Structure 1
Amino acid sequence: MKYKKLGFAFGLTGALIYLGCIIVMATAGREETITFFNNLLHGLDTTNIIRMDVPLLEVFFGIVQTFILGWLIGACVAAFYNAQIKVKNRNIL
């Protein structure tokens, strides 16, 4: 498994989810956004943590940070998977 490609896939997926959150917050009002995230998070009350006035620079850094974390997670998954495959192959021989 290629760790850079899986890392990129995880990072891009995380960034797309982040963009989905942006779209929900931009198109729904505050109450609908709270309802959406409360439902998504199994009833966790997000009333006190939802901010509707997020500056664009903060949004940009949020997308970049989400992509980087996703890339690192994907790369780690691939590296751990590859290491496990190598260990199993050695045991077979």
Structure 2
Amino acid sequence: MYRLNVKKFGFALGLTGALIYLGCMIVMATAGKEASITFFNSLAHGLDVTSIIRMDVPLWEALIGIIQIFILGWLIGACIAAFYNAQIKNK
């Protein structure tokens, strides 16, 4: 079996999470409140997000969110790769 590069896998997962976060920002900025609620309700398997959706998110808060998602994604990806590599038997 091949070993995963922990840093690269973490970076890939972190960047993917940041892109998804950016996609959410774009949906909310372009679709409006009602369409955003419909979109996120369908993603959440019918969970009603009406009471928790916020349309007036400041830009600085959104940028901090992207950074936080990237860091969490990197840490999760690095853990997955490290756990995967730990299970590989060396010959």
In the superposition, the TM-score normalised over structure 1's length comes to 0.92
Please give the alpha-carbon distance, in whole angstroms, between the structure 2 residues aligned to 1:29 and 1:18.
17
- Structure (1 or 2) with the larger CA radius of gyration: 1
Structure-1 residue corresponding to 2:23: 20
Q: What runs of 5+ residues in structure 1 fail to find an aligned partner? A: none
Q: 1:55 pairs with 40, 58, 70, which one?
A: 58
In the superposition, the TM-score normalised over structure 2's length comes to 0.94
Runs of 4+ in 1 over 3 A off after TM superposition: none
Q: In the comparison of the two structures, how many residue pairs are matched?
A: 88
Q: What runs of 5+ residues in structure 2 fail to find an aligned partner? A: none
Please give the secondary structure, in 2, of the residue aligned with 1:83. Answer: helix
Please give the secondary structure, in 2, of the residue aligned with 1:46. Answer: coil
Amino acid at match of 1:18: Y
Alignment of 1:72 onto 2:75: yes
Q: CA RMSD in A?
A: 0.8
Structure-1 residue corresponding to 2:49: 46
Please give the alpha-carbon distance, in whole angstroms, between the structure 2 residues aligned to 1:48 and 1:12.
29
Compare the two structures and name the one with the higher helix fraction.
1
